[in-house]
Structure 1
Amino acid sequence: MSDQTNDRKIEHIRAIENDPSTDRDGRYFDRIVLTHRALPELDLAEIDSAIEFLGRRLSFPLLISSMTGGDHELVRRINTNLAEAAQHCGVALAVGSQRVMFGQPAARSSFELRSLAPDTVLLANIGAVQLNYGFTIEQARDAVECVGADGLYLHLNPLQEAVQPEGDTNFRGVVEKIGAIQRGLKVPVLLKEVGCGLSPEDIAAGYAQGIRYFDVAGSGGTSWSRIEHHRRDDGSDIGIRFQDWGLPTPVALKCAQPWLDRATLIASGGLRDGIDMAKSVILGASLCGMAAPFLRPASQSVDAVVEVIERVRREFVTAMFLLGMPDVATMRNNRALIVEER
């Protein structure tokens, strides 16, 4: 089972590399038209894009979202390059699922990133459904300790598990077990989908268990359903049928509006540039996650990742300037900046 989990990590990367359509490129944020200030009354050089998240200062609200981890040189190179770039640029980083390291100890080193990123936000990551398959609070603590993490993502992926040939599909009772993990850790649990969106009912269920951080992770970006399709050998096209299933990220953010005064939202799923980030913040997100734009650069070098981060930062700050927003707090949940939603 452990070897299978490790091999699956590489199969996922290869599927993304070989099939550009795993990125659904929904461009749902393009339907949102923002105002434009021809007289912004700001000096572009003085705009403050920095935020505080989990007690650490970030240069702007970017999270390099969960991608991978395991016992393979490619995986180690990707995570090392991401961590060093995140530290250099002052952005957050979440690792891929750490389940593999509990069955294959050699995979552990791919998640030991704190020494490479001593000052920025790092998030550990485990699939919530594994709480129904023997995963314990001790292992959750170990996952956090391994990364040196500021928080633990418990990711929700029922569609991926349903399509995956060897998927774990018993989600019954997971909500209460998520609460037990939240209460047993010294760092916060963050609840995250993986590309189908969190509904208001999902947020309500997590909130009732003490969760205060929610990554809506909507559709429009990487389709794990389509990725798992490439791993099936039974002729089924179920992964293709469901490749666009779910709530687009802007819709998920709007649905989560009632929770803004009580919880912290993270936007991911289909964000591709700094303009999408600005729109996410306007819709209430405190942090914005991207993964696909960083995968290829991360397989190359730290400098390649830094180049993408700096491009996105320029785009984000330029959008703030053109909106007349001097800082992120002024822009967050400022729905008056939306002129039209097509």
Structure 2
Amino acid sequence: MISDRKLEHLLLCTHSDVEYHKKTGFKDVELVHKALPEINKEEIDLSTSLLGKKMDAPIIITAITGGHPSSIEVNQKLAQAAGNLNIGMGLGSQRAAVENPELTSTYTVAREAAPDALLIGNIGAPQMEQALEASQMMDLDAMAIHLNPLQEAIQPEGDVDSRGYLENIKKTTEEMKIPVIAKETGAGISGNDAKLLENVGVKAIDVAGSGGTSWAAVETYRSPDKDMGELYWDWGIPTAASTVEVSQSVQIPIISSGGIRNGLEAVKALALGADAVGMALPVLKTSYLGEGALEKFFQKFMDQIKVAMFLVGASNLKQLQKTDLVIQGKTREWLTERGYNTKIYARRSSL
């Protein structure tokens, strides 16, 4: 049953080692320190707007759960934090509730707990015919179509016929009354694919690069044959490289997610061109630590963001995207070989 699989995924992510061994690539990104910041750290403004929705910080709790009775409490906690802090939140795949309406409350609880927050629905690329019904489940600000070929290929019950996805995404963007986001689930999106998605009407892209939760790892625990999942555990485009590829390829908003674990990494992602950053696994684990834990987690995260912004002299997000940074190591090697310009970031503040 889908509902049982949702619970299994939730438990595995919470209690097992499911993260990439190969990291995000953000260690190869060095922000250029400014000895004369000429700003007041206490006046740094993190507010932004994404898909027409104002947010107090460029942070999204990316798709985590829904579809099993035990996920009601998790989504309620996450949504309360999102609402209180005025940040965004993504739901887990709504397929379970489309096919079994008794599970609808495991998703709608999020809107009830956060009536004004940016709330993003979710349906898988193999189930795109359910997108319209999923979008009508509650008041959503956008619908994410999640792309998970790696998970489908490793999953014992995976759907491995991906023919027609792009055409179906195009049809979905045309029939939906809310913006459609394309998101990966941890293996990244290339600049090539991002351009194709923009051309068929997608209004934002969540790169969800490699470096965070590996769905090959999650499925390794579920599969009787461990070899395939272990072989592809680290498959994907590292988040830093994916963020650059997509930002240099499209004009639509970009969410950078996949292994971002602190405010410094978030600032690097934003400086590389992301409009917001997303996190899932650390937020899920924090949600089990009791009342107030999530808000403390995000307040610390935002304080870390402000320190990095202060040190590069950026008083807002627009200024941050004009600050200098240097891309080194394997990330520069990847991007150079792929034909992306890594030098444009190094002295852009003087342009």
TM-score by length of 2: 0.90
> After superposition, where does 1:131-150 map in structure 2 within 5 Å?
131=128, 136=129, 139-150=130-141
* 8 Å contact from structure 1 (residues 77, 298) kept in 2: no
AA aligned opposite 1:96: G
Which residue of structure 2 lines up, in the alignment, with residue 161 of structure 1?
A: 152
Q: Which moved more, 1:154-163 or 1:8-17?
A: 8-17
Q: Please state whether the residue corresponding to 1:237 is helix, strand or coil.
A: helix
Write the distance in 1 (CA, Å) between the matches of 2:28 and 2:61: 24
C-alpha separation in 2, matches of 1:275 and 1:223? 22
Q: Distance in 2 between matches of 1:213 and 1:72?
A: 30
What are the residue-to-residue correspondences of 1:69-88 with 2, within 5 Å?
69-73=66-70, 75-88=71-84
- The answer (yes or no) to whether the contact 2:20–2:212 under 8 Å persists in 1 is yes
Q: Mapping of 1:279-298 within 5 angstroms?
A: 279-298=268-287
Match of 1:306 among 295, 312, 336: 295
Runs of 5+ consecutive residues of structure 2 not aligned to the other structure: 330-351
Structure 1 residue 258 corresponds to structure 2 residue 248: yes
**1:114, distance to aligned residue in structure 2 (A):** 1.6
Q: 1:109 aligns with which of 100, 105, 108?
A: 105
Query: Matches of 2:145 and 2:21 in 1, distance apart?
Result: 24
Task: Give the whole-Å Cα distance in 2 for the aligned partners of 1:254 and 1:140.
Answer: 29
Larger displacement relative to structure 2 (58-67 or 293-302):
293-302
Check the 8 A contact 2:24/2:238 in 1, yes or no: no
- The question of whether the paired residues in 2 share the 8 Å contact of 1:24 and 1:223 is answered with no
What secondary structure does 1:130 align onto?
A: helix
Partner of residue 337 from structure 1, selected from 324, 336, 345: 324
Residue correspondence of structure 1 range 309-328 to structure 2 within 5 A: 309-328=298-317
Percent of aligned positions with the same letter in both sequences? Answer: 35
- The DSSP-based 3-state class of the residue aligned with 1:308 is helix
Q: 1-side partners of 2:46 and 2:222: how far apart?
A: 41
C-alpha contact (below 8 Å) 2:190/2:245 kept by paired residues? yes
Alpha-carbon offset, residue 201 of structure 1: 2.1
The aligned counterpart of 2:230 is 240
One-letter code aligned to 2:326: V
Deviation string, structure 1 residues 210-238 (Cα, Å, up to 9, x no partner): 113111111000000010011112x3411
Partner of residue 124, structure 2: 127
Q: Is the 8 A contact 1:81 1:301 kept in 2?
A: no
User: Aligned partners of 2:195, 2:324: CA distance in 1, in Å?
Assistant: 28
Alignment match of 1:92 (pick from 88, 93, 97) = 88
Q: Unaligned 5+ residue runs, structure 1? A: none
Task: Name the count of aligned residue pairs.
Answer: 328
Deviations 1:264-313 (A, max 9, x none): 11101111111111001111000100111111222344511111111111
Amino acid at match of 2:122: N
Over the residues paired in the alignment, what is the CA RMSD in angstroms? 1.5
Q: Indicate yes or no: 2:58 matched with 1:67.
A: no
Is the 8 Å Cα contact of residues 51 and 57 (structure 1) preserved in structure 2?
yes
1:151-188: CA deviations, max 9, x gaps?
00000000100100101111101110111010001111
Q: Which residue of 2 aligns with 1:16?
A: 13
> Cα distance 1:39–1:98, how it changes in 2: closer, same or farther (>3 A)?
same
Deviations 1:60-117 (A, max 9, x none): 10000101102322x1111000000000011100001111112222211011022211
Q: Which residue of 2 is the match for residue 32 of structure 1?
A: 29
- 1:14 match: secondary structure: helix
Output the amino acid matched with 1:181: T
